[in-house]
Amino acid sequence: MTTERVPLTAKERMALDRVAMPEQKAALRAVNFREVNLGLTEQLAMLEAERCLQCPKPYCIDGCPVRVNIPRFIKLLRDGDLPGAAAQLLDDNALPCVTGRVCPQESQCELVCLRGKKGRSVAIGHLERFVADWAQDHPDGLAPAKPAASGRSVAIVGSGPAGLTAAGELVKRGHQVTIFEAFHAAGGVLVYGIPEFRLPKDIVQAEVDRLVAAGVRIEPNAIIGKTYTLPELQEQFDAVFVAVGAGLPVFMDVPGENLKGVYSANEYLTRVNLMGAWDPDADTPVLHGQRVVVVGGGNVAMDAVRTARRLGAAQATIVYRRGREELPARAEEVHHAEQEGVRFAFQVAPVEVVGDEDRWVVGLRCVRMELGEPDDSGRRRPIPVAGSEFVIDCDMVVVAIGTRSNPLLTATAPGLEINQRGYIVTDDRGMTSLDGVFAGGDIVRGAATVILAMGDGKRAASAIDAYLRGEQLPETPAAVPAEVHATA
Ligand code: FAD
Ligand code: SF4
């Protein structure tokens, strides 16, 4: 149903200020795991939607790796046609409740939004979240029509955003899809990495349930490379999509790193998020450090340090070897961390974890850094300052300096080409060196973002569909390079 109203003039739209996202107060949220951002009300969403200029050449679409038709869903929203806006969004984006919460919009669609040339860009992510949440609360009539069965089957390895997106696209085209997932729960980093206070797990589960209702089969506790091998999947299925992510932690390689009280961010967050260790009655324990140091400056580091605060750390400190301007984490996460009382030690790098006689952590020895010329990443290279060492007293250290590929699957897949860093090599449509085997997401790009992984899943699904039908692989836009979006 649409609402009759007098459209605003462009001048009136330009005069509207960007609507602020309501959020839990910092003092309150720093001690609970409930979501920080509370979401726009319908009234606020309508108001924000009025700010969109409906540009004839909408750069925002080009800024989105899955090319969501942003002006269209915003127009439908402000016309009061919420079912239409939801249907449009779901058609373009398999996981809008997720991307509306965790996408780095400020460096993608909102960066190029024309409205941002004068004033602030349209809050595209906040509007996406509003429409997606509405769709999750009003599922009737939004399920896509059941397609005719193609008689072809696809195995997907890994249930992160790349695997889930590919599954959704392939099942829409009538293929039989089975996802093999190493963990007991589906969602990849969305469930084991990103904490509840940024992305509630029931929201991810609802997205997974939607796929299962559409016909996707999920086999949990199935590790490809151990439970089954890739060649076995190739025998049983007509095509395979490998989307195993890059979840193997990188360590600092400094003395004392194996002391009690040192975690990789991956282990720490998995214990808390996936295994429920925030609850004292959970089977999986986790240390509740009082003075916690997290090493790193990406989203993973921010998630770990904010988790430590919520688990009772009186002092929670980020140690980062470059300066504030170089922090790779999303600006919103840094801002929220600061509001919650997290401290930042910039231009500081760890050189040793210090322990007591019982091998428990008591400090992190660090050295100060100065910033030299830009390196290959374009960021200024940190150089240690001689004689500047000092110790930060702490009882827990979390290492969040990046992840790399896990060789479990690739080591048991003869003929699968990987590069020198262990990532799977594909062409720009996602095809690997093995016939009928495609790959995408972090296992191809290295640690990147949810939306880039989803873009890969979508692109690979089109290519797999063409492959299964014996057609020419489709022309697709070139993949967006990962480096720009790296999160660690
Ligand atoms: P993953 O999400 O890693 O999923 C891979 C899945 O494959 C996992 O479920 C894994 O268990 C499974 N698997 C692995 N090996 C096997 C095997 N051999 N057999 C079967 N299954 C296997 N990006 C953003 O855009 N915004 C953010 O705010 C953000 N925050 C982040 C916070 C954290 C803590 C982390 C770790 C990452 C964050 N990222 C963020 C990055 C983003 O989550 C990843 O880029 C994205 O999840 C990659 O998706 P993927 O599908 O390739 O892999
Ligand atoms: Fe609206 Fe910004 Fe997209 Fe223009 S670029 S259509 S103002 S969201």
Q: CA-CA distance, 247 to 266, in Å (whole number)?
A: 7
Query: Do 310 and 30 meet the contact criterion of CB atoms below 8 Å apart?
Result: yes
Return the bridge partners of 391, or none. Answer: 365
Q: Which of 35, 272, 408, 487 is the best mutation target for the ligand 1 pocket, counting ligand atoms within 8 Å of the beta carbon and taking the most?
A: 487
Instruction: Read off the pLDDT of residues 35-52 as tens digits, 9 standing for 90 and up.
Output: 999 999 999 999 999 999
| pLDDT band with cut points at 50, 70 and 90 for residue 377 | confident
- Lowest-confidence pick of 61-65, 194-198, 324-328, 373-377: 373-377
Ligand nearest to the CA of 445: 1
Residues with CB under 6 A from ligand 1: 102-104, 157-163, 180-183, 188-189, 193-194, 223-225, 243-245, 247, 269, 299-300, 303, 330, 406, 408-409, 441-442, 447-451, 453, 487
Residue whose C-alpha is closest to residue 33's, from 158, 199, 160, 173: 199
Q: 211 vs 378, which has greater pLDDT?
A: 211
- Lowest-confidence pick of 105-119, 130-144, 251-265, 299-313: 130-144
| pLDDT band with cut points at 50, 70 and 90 for residue 452 | very high
Helix locations, 50-139, DSSP H: 59-62, 70-78, 82-92, 96-102, 109-112, 124-137
Mean pLDDT of the chain: 92
Residues of the chain with CATH 1.10.1060.10: 10-137
Q: What percent of the chain has pLDDT over 70?
A: 95
Classify domain 251-401 at the CATH superfamily level.
FAD/NAD(P)-binding domain (3.50.50.60)
Q: Distance, CA 246 to ligand 1 centroid (Å)?
A: 7
Q: Is the pLDDT at 130 greater than 50, yes or no?
A: yes
Q: Distance, CA 428 to ligand 1 centroid (Å)?
A: 21
| pLDDT band with cut points at 50, 70 and 90 for residue 77 | very high
pLDDT computed for residue 253 by the predictor: 96
Q: Is the pLDDT at 482 greater than 70, yes or no?
A: no
Residues of the chain with CATH 3.50.50.60: 153-247+404-468, 251-401
Tell me the two tokens of residue 482.
């990962």
Q: Distance, CA 57 to ligand 2 centroid (Å)?
A: 9
Q: Is the pLDDT at 2 greater than 80, yes or no?
A: no
Q: Is the pLDDT at 162 greater than 50, yes or no?
A: yes
Q: Is the pLDDT at 477 greater than 60, yes or no?
A: no
Q: Whose CA is nearest to atom 15 of ligand 1?
A: 244
The kind and range of the H/E element at 344 are strand 343-346
Q: 207 vs 362, which has greater pLDDT?
A: 362
Per-residue pLDDT, averaged over 315-319, amounts to: 98
- Note the pTM of the prediction, 2 decimals: 0.91
Return the bridge partners of 263, or none. Answer: 398
Q: Position of tokens 């949810």?
A: 450
Q: Distance, CA 53 to ligand 2 centroid (Å)?
A: 6
pLDDT computed for residue 279 by the predictor: 80
Q: Is the pLDDT at 487 greater than 60, yes or no?
A: no
For residue 12, CA distances in Å to 9, 16, 371 come to 5, 7, 46
Tell me the two tokens of residue 38.
């509370």
Q: Pick left, alpha or beta for residue 144 (phi over 0 → left; psi -120 to 50 → alpha; otherwise beta).
A: beta
| pLDDT band with cut points at 50, 70 and 90 for residue 23 | very high
- Which amino acid is residue 229, in one-letter code? T
Q: CA-CA distance, 28 to 351, in Å (whole number)?
A: 35
Nearest atom, ligand 2, residue 112 CA: 5
Measured in degrees and rounded to the nearest 5, phi and psi for residue 236 equal: -90, -20
Measured in degrees and rounded to the nearest 5, phi and psi for residue 317 equal: -125, 135
**Residues in CB range of 202: below 8 A, 6 or more apart:** none
Q: Is the pLDDT at 484 greater than 50, yes or no?
A: no
pLDDT computed for residue 475 by the predictor: 61
The most confident of 86-90, 135-139, 328-332, 378-382, by mean pLDDT: 86-90
The gap from C-alpha 308 to its chain's centroid, in whole angstroms, comes to: 20
Tell me if the domain spanning 10-137 has CATH number 3.30.390.10: no
Give the CA count within 13 Å in the CB-facing half-sphere of 460: 34
Q: CA-CA distance, 395 to 263, in Å (whole number)?
A: 11
The gap from C-alpha 246 to its chain's centroid, in whole angstroms, comes to: 12
| pLDDT band with cut points at 50, 70 and 90 for residue 133 | very high
Q: Whose CA is nearest to atom 4 of ligand 2?
A: 55
DSSP assignment string, 114-155? GGGGSSPPP-HHHHHHHHHHHHHH--TTTSPPPPPP-S-EEE
Length of the chain: 488
Query: Do 202 and 185 meet the contact criterion of CB atoms below 8 Å apart?
Result: no
Q: What percent of the chain has pLDDT over 90?
A: 81
Q: Is the pLDDT at 485 greater than 60, yes or no?
A: no
Tell me the two tokens of residue 281.
């009655």
DSSP single-letter state for residue 159: -
Instruction: Read off the pLDDT of residues 461-476 as tens digits, 9 standing for 90 and up.
Output: 999 999 999 987 666 5
Residue whose C-alpha is closest to residue 381's, from 389, 370, 390, 391: 370
pLDDT computed for residue 339 by the predictor: 94
Per-residue pLDDT, averaged over 175-188, amounts to: 97
Q: Using the Cα atoms of residue 289, residue 278, residue 331 and residue 441 in order, give the sign of their dihedral.
A: positive
Q: Is the pLDDT at 478 greater than 50, yes or no?
A: no
pLDDT computed for residue 282 by the predictor: 85
Residues with CB under 6 A from ligand 2: 52-55, 58-60, 70-71, 113-115, 122, 124
Tell me if the domain spanning 153-247+404-468 has CATH number 3.50.50.60: yes
Q: Whose CA is nearest to atom 5 of ligand 2?
A: 113
- Which amino acid is residue 299, in one-letter code? N
- Lowest-confidence pick of 41-45, 123-127, 339-343, 372-376: 372-376
pLDDT computed for residue 488 by the predictor: 35
Q: Distance, CA 173 to ligand 2 centroid (Å)?
A: 31
Q: CA-CA distance, 284 to 268, in Å (whole number)?
A: 11
Measured in degrees and rounded to the nearest 5, phi and psi for residue 173 equal: -95, 10
